Each structure stands twice: as C-alpha cells, then as structure tokens.
Structure 1
C-alpha cells in the first residue's frame, strides 16, 4: 500500500492507495463514531455498496445507506437536502461519520454536507473514478453547483481519510477514465515536467488501465496535490495553479449544461485553450502547445472547444471563483512544468476564444 500524507491547518489525514481498500474502510472510521452514513449513487452502489457496508459494519457501528441521483446535474441544493433529510430522519448526531462512495459529484456534495451538518461532522472520501482519486477527493474543496456557476456554493473542509481502491477503476466506462487522465496530466504541466513526459510515454498504458501505470499516476498526482494544498489550503496563492484549464472548462460545462461534457473532458479541452493563451501572453513555445494538444487527444478527450460565441464565453467566465474585482485571471504556463495565475489582455483572450468555431453539438 502507498500512503500519501496531507497536512493542512484544517486537518491532517492519510491517502491510502492500494487494491482492495474497499474491504478495509473500517480502518478509517474513528473509534468514537456513533454511526456511519454511506452516501453513494445507484451506479456505484450496484458494484460496491455491499462490500463497503460490510466493511463499515465490521466496526460495530450503525450504518445507514443513502443513495443520491447520479450525474453532475444533480450536484445542487435539492440533492444536498436529501442528505440532510436522511441524517435527520435517522437521528445521526455530531459524532456520526459520513462516507462518500463515488466520483467527484458524490465527494463534493457529501463533503459539503459534512461541513454543514450540525456545523461540521467527520467524513471519509472513497473515490471511485480516476478524476476523483487524483483530484477532487484530495484537498478539502467541497461544493454544489448553482445554475449561474459551477461550485459557487461550498466550503473548504478536510476529510479524516481518503481511501483509494485501485481495483474499482476496472468497472469505469472508458470515457470516465479518459476524463480523469486530464487531471493527471495537469499536474505534470503545472509543476512536474518529468511527470508530464512520463504521461506522454505512458498514455496508451493509462488508457488501457495498466495496473502499474495507473498506480503510479494516482500516487504521483496525490503527492503533487498534497504538496500544494498543504502549503495553501484555502487558495490564497499557490493553490490557484491547480485551476489550470478550469476557467475555460467550467465555462464549457455551464454553457452546454452540466453533464453534457464530463468535467475532465472540459478541463482537458480547457488546458489546450489555456496553453494557446499562454503562448500569446507568456510566449509558451508553439511545440509545447502542440504537446499539450497531442496528449489531451492521446488520452481520449475532446480537443475542439464548443462554439459558445465569444461574448457568451466571457459572460460565463465572469461567474467564476477565479475572477477578482471583475477582472478575469487565468493560470498560464511560461513553460511546461511551471505555472502562474495572472490577468490577461482582453484582446488575447478574444483571439483564443475566436478559434472555438466547431458547433457544440458535435463535441459531447
């Protein structure tokens, strides 16, 4: 088993990465827990809920099961209240522990519920997608979406543990694997050029879910994210680099409607746009932009952005957490392996957006 430690002011906790961790979930439940709520969705539950419940019941604690509808479009206030309804109806107290079994949507919404319920209860992340394992389950960002913007209502709230069972990736659709790999290559682009080169050399193995390649990608991604969030838990500086490609990506998701593109697909395409913007603003070499595009394509993500219309793109970006004082900020690359956040000239942004000419209906 590989263990990565995350140490933030909001909490210190381990990330365990190994096959079979689903059967050891009881190890991460605090001894003083009064009850456990396993929160998942029907898709994940069909494969893994029974094993997870058996592992949690081995602690001797009362376990309740809560199923939420599956999909990004349900990461909203109404679904959040379904969690609160279940917790209150079952009279869970503030020593209860929530367990998020699922992808990024489940992890984000359960984490936010944990932050809010009785002003804060403990929770464990059990991510079941590549994207959730390498990104959203680590670092304590929790949120729900608003019709006007993605992840606009949330809190920084750290789990007590992250349990990553690499075996669960075997039941993922290929499209979900590709979407998750976009977040993997992001880490190389923003802070580890050697890891980016490794991803280029191992793109086929990653898409095939080669166990050794996937394990290395997950562990290295978690190590890199842990470094960042341990230094900057609440995104006051360094952590902003983790948003590379996300300002474009969030606009794609909101503009097309949540769920049309997977989050990782939107981020992958957004990283290409961010690289193009980096070339204009910081002089990122053209061959580096081409490498970004080639690798995004190699992992199976879309490379052509939807044609939302330049003004619509900018409107969507204005409703984004990276906006400061009405000014858009982007994470840009002076070179592969280095990133920084800054405002950009409007003309350069519009030039990049003008290249998004392919109809949105052809992208999903």
Structure 2
C-alpha cells in the first residue's frame, strides 16, 4: 500500500445577485414590486410565502397584517400565503436568546416550506436578524425577502448578507452569511418610528461616510438640522446613499463573507458592541455606534490621521442630529479597576478571528487599518467625549 499523499484541490466560484429596491407604499395593490420580486426568476408558478412581522411594526401599523393579506389576494396568481402573517419580537433584547429564532423555525416546519419557498421578513434590524437566521438554517437556506422598517435596517443591516443572534454575552455570536433574494425599502415605515430608532440609524450613516465618502459626510453635516427635525426628503436621501455605500463595499471590498480579519464596515463597533452588552441592551445599536465612531475618531485625531478640526466637526454633527457621543458606561470599571469598555478590544479581536484590525478614518472619506490601540489614548478619548457631552 502506497503511503503517498494525494491531494485534489476543489475550487468553487458562486455568484450572488439580489436587487435592492427603493419604493413607496409597498403593500398598495397598485404597486407590483413585491410580486415582481418574488417572480423575478420567471419560474411560472405561484410562490409559497410565509410572512413574519416585527412586533414594533405591528404596534405602529395595526392593520399591517390585513394589508399583506389584501396584497396577496390582489396578486393571487403569484403569491400563496401559507398562513396569516406572524409576529416576531423586535429589539436587541429579542436577539439575546434563541427562543424567537427557534419559534420561527418551528412555524416554518409546521407549514412545510421548502427551499423554493419564501420567507418575507418585515421589521427592524433585530427582527430581520432573527427571522433571517431561522430562514437560513431551515433546509440550509430558504429564500428571504426583506422589508426593513427602521433607519438602521434600511441604511445598513437590511441590505447586507448577515444574520445572527447574541449569545453567551457576545454580540452576534451565532449567525450566518446568506444574501437575501431581494430587499424592498419603503420610507413610509419611518414615519412612525420613535426617536430612538429614527436617530439611531444615523450612526451607521456617519460611520460609512467617514471611511468611504467625504462628500456624504459633508452632506450630513450641512443637513444636520433637517435630520434633527426628521425631514422626510433628507432622511430618504441619507438612507439611499448609505445603503448604496454599504452595498458597494460588500460587492467590491473583496471579502463579502468576511473570511479575512479586516472589517472596514465595523468602524466604531469594537466599543459599540461592548457598550450594548454592558447596558443590558438598553443602549440601541445605532446609538452605541455613534459613541464608538466618536471615540475612534478621537483616536484617529490623536494619532494624526485626521485633524482636530475634523474631529470637532464629527462630534458637532453627531450631536446636532440628536446622537449622544457620551455614556456613563464608558467610565464603568471591572473589579480589577480596568475600564469595562476596553474588554471590547479583546472580544472584537476574537470575533475577527486573529490579529486585531481596527478601522479608522484617515483622512475623512478614506479608511486606515491599525493593529493595536493604546489604552491610554482610548482613556483620553473617553475624557474628551465627556467634555463634549
């Protein structure tokens, strides 16, 4: 018997394609977009669809289930609802458990969806994560269509390729990469958001502008007062530009499923994720990201990547749109006297899968990767943000 080693190298190249539509009144029977999206492969059949809706959406739009049913009736040649729309808990706390995702999977099993069936997820980022994770685990992946309903879900998470839940005290510990079948963005849903979910999503817009598009950052600064007033035309433009920047990075960044360690779109997130956990998820993701962006922007200024003028402009604009740049959580210490937020660096390194990679702006509109953060400078940043509070 030969002891020689034989190796066969397998190479696969898989192409993904999904549309992200910007529309209005998505469930108005005069708008065929949802039906057309379900039928975009022209398979010549009715499509079995199960609908899950964020509890927050149901609270703000009590007739949303009726609207979905009426739409399905109007397009009965294309859409077969397998059951009435079901409600899924929303908010980050709902992600901090497997219960909601398991209930979604159980319901999918009860209604015998197959890999060619559709899960229609309507809601904010947390609900989309829960529903999306369940849909990707059943039969190793059902077709998902997302209708994001918060600013953060529309301008960032809802257009991406991730699903996940929090576990073991770690943000997004369990999750999958699975591109959606399609995304439909309808600004009508933003009208009923409370301020926390409206302004919180702006944190992600600032994040992507600072590392990808200086002109977009200038736009955000110039229209900060309009954003504070919840001007509809302005937020629609912000959502569109932010979503496209996120999509461009996923497509052109060379690592859509994040096999590598660098995560440019996680600028500001090492501290944001830690602050969310420390707050018991009272602090929303977008609001935590705003603080994280401000903190890392100070680090960029302290290390010469951006100017003091740039840092001041970043903090001023974040505050002007209604986002806090400070939390008392930043000063909380562990029993050993170490700032609790600093533990986020090690958690982030572990999440990345090896060497620490932190993205900073340098200059505004461009990203710089560093592999070490000086805790002393972080502490200086915390004190600087406290002075700006």
The 8 Å contact of residues 54 and 87 in structure 2, kept in 1 or not, is answered as yes
Q: 1:286 aligns with which of 286, 308, 318?
A: 308
Match of 2:280 among 241, 257, 264: 257
Please point out which of 5, 16, 27 is paired with 1:11. Answer: 16
Match of 2:270 in 1: 247
After TM superposition, give the deviation of residue 206 of structure 1 in Å: 2.2
How many residues align structurally?
A: 351
Q: Give the equivalent residue in structure 2 for 1:332.
A: 360
| SS in structure 2 of the partner of residue 303 of structure 1 | coil
Q: Return the structure number with greater strand share.
A: 1
Structural mapping, 1:1-364, within 5 Å: 9=14, 11-23=16-28, 24-30=33-39, 31=43, 32=45, 34-46=47-59, 47=61, 48-57=64-73, 58=75, 59-64=78-83, 65-75=85-95, 76-231=97-252, 232-236=255-259, 240-258=263-281, 260-305=282-327, 306=329, 307-309=331-333, 310-320=338-348, 323-324=351-352, 327-352=355-380, 355=383
Deviations 1:165-193, CA, capped at 9 Å, x for gaps: 11111111122111011111222111111
**Structure 1 residues not aligned, in runs of 5+:** 1-7
| Cα distance in structure 2, aligned partners of 1:284 and 1:149 | 31
| Post-superposition CA distance 1:54-110 (Å, at most 9, x none) | 324423412432212232111131111010111111222222101110000111122
Give the distance between the partners of 2:353 and 2:243, measured in 1 at CA.
32
Q: Which digits, 9 at most, give the CA deviation of each residue in 1:141-198, with x for residues without a partner?
A: 1111113211111111000111011111111112211101111122211111111001
Distance 1:107 1:266 in 2: 19
Normalised TM-score (structure 2): 0.83
Q: 1:215 offset after TM fit, Å? A: 2.0
Taking structure 1 as the reference length, the TM-score comes to 0.89
C-alpha distance in structure 1 between counterparts of 2:277 and 2:18, whole Å: 33
Cα distance in 2 for residues equivalent to 1:173 and 1:283? 36
Task: Give, in whole Å, the separation in 1 of the partners of 2:185 and 2:242.
Answer: 13
Cα distance in 2 between the residues matched to 1:135 and 1:264: 10
5+ residue gaps, structure 2: 1-12
Give SS of 2:306's match.
coil
Q: Which has the larger radius of gyration?
A: 2
CA distance in 2, matches of 1:179, 1:26: 31
SS at match of 2:348: coil
- In 2, the alpha carbon distance for the partners of 1:80 and 1:158 equals 18
Residues 336 and 208 of structure 1: is their aligned pair in 2 closer, same or farther, counting only changes over 3 Å?
Answer: same
Alpha carbons of 1:156 and 1:346: their partners in 2 closer, same or farther (altered >3 Å)?
same
CA pair 52-352 structure 1, distance change in 2 beyond 3 A: farther
The answer to whether the 8 Å contact 2:151/2:190 transfers is yes
Contact 1:255 1:316 in 2 (8 A): no
Task: Say which SS state the counterpart of residue 27 (structure 2) adopts.
Answer: helix
